[in-house]
Amino acid sequence: MATTTTTSTTAPLPALGGDSTPASLEARDVSAWFGDHKVLDRVSLTMPAQQVTALIGPSGCGKSTFLRILNRMHELIGSAALAGQVLLDGADIYDRGRRITHARRQIGMVFQKPNPFPAMSIYDNVLAGLKLNGVRATRRERDGLVEECLTRAGLWKEVRDRLRQPGGALSGGQQQRLCIARSLAVRPRVLLMDEPCSALDPTSTRRIEQTIHELSQEVTIVIVTHNMQQAQRVSDQCAFFLAEQGTPGLIVEHGPTGAMFTSPRDNRTADYVNGRFG
């Protein structure tokens, strides 16, 4: 783990994982189970660095399970099991000897429902991940990081004069951007987003999409979305998941987003992206 000095400096805090450059993620033959229910079957997908990859598909086909596997959250569920590999810039995050916290620090997650600590101040919400990891920083470093992360999340101008107010007092869309700022504070190399706009109104949704666009050069993004317009607006590439008639989920087709929507190779993809099912 990178150490952080406590001397007064304007230099940015280093990444907890030692490297904050955007990383590629590659899933190789990933299968997943809950008990004896197999929910994913040999899913392989490359999610290139500095790109936004959208995971689309009908409810229950395993998109969220796949996303949770990408940062080792799946294994927190008692009945869960998995097979296959997940490579972060070529190194398997599931290698024996590699600690779960190592993957978590480098691969952040933003959830469907904004989940800031409601009674905690906006300022402290942004720093919550650092505190959890025992990182010490000067006041100046903390101030700098809070401003930087809120700016990157597109929230700074709206909250700069009320940083000591509780996170729970913000609107839903602002809370979601606060959660993005909190994720960014530990300098992840990949950001996973599980339907981050599904609880938001259209204006807040567009603001989050703008944030995703602005962040995409700095951090690799993988987003689950049910909204086909959103997938087209925010992503560079798409993967279409499907679980047919009680079979485990798999990827039917993946590729550049434009091609997936204008000239899909598989009829099932065409039916799904054109709203004929799901």
Ligand X SMILES: Nc1ncnc2c1ncn2[C@@H]1O[C@H](COP(=O)(O)OP(=O)(O)OP(=O)(O)O)[C@@H](O)[C@H]1O
Q: Which is nearer to ligand X, 124 or 194 (CB)?
A: 194
Token pair, residue 237, equals 């590439």
Nearer to ligand X, 27 or 170 (CB): 27
* Residue 233 C-beta: closest distance to ligand X, Å: 19
Distance CA 258, CA 250 (A): 21
Residue of 9, 69, 1, 85 lying closest to 33 (CA atoms):
69
By C-beta, is 3 or 79 nearer to ligand X?
A: 79
Least distance between ligand X and beta carbon 34 (Å): 3
8 A C-beta contact, residue 105 and residue 133: yes
For the bound state, the minimum distance from the C-beta of residue 224 to ligand X, rounded and expressed in Å, comes to: 6
Q: Which amino acid is at 17?
A: G
Nearest to 156 by CA among 198, 117, 207, 106: 207
**CB within 8 Å of 66: residues ≥ 6 apart:** 27, 30, 32, 40, 43, 55, 241, 249
Q: How far is the CB of 205 from ligand X (least distance, A)?
A: 17
| CB-based contact 102:185 (threshold 8 Å) | no
- From the CB of 269, what's the least distance to ligand X, in Å? 15
In the complex, least distance from residue 79 CB atom to ligand X, rounded to whole angstroms: 6
In the bound state with ligand X, the residue whose beta carbon lies nearer, of 63 and 105, is 63
Do residues 117 and 167 lie in contact, with contact meaning Cβ atoms separated by under 8 Å? yes
Identity of the amino acid at 35: G
- Positions that interact with ligand X (CB under 6 A): 34, 39, 57, 59-65, 77, 79
Instruction: Decide whether 84 or 168 has the Cβ nearer to ligand X.
Output: 84
Q: What amino acid is encoded at 61 in this protein? A: C
User: What is the strand order of the sheet 25-34 is part of?
Assistant: 37-47, 25-34, 80-88, 91-92
Q: List 223's β-bridge partners, or say none.
A: 54, 193
Decide whether 123 or 241 has the Cβ nearer to ligand X.
241
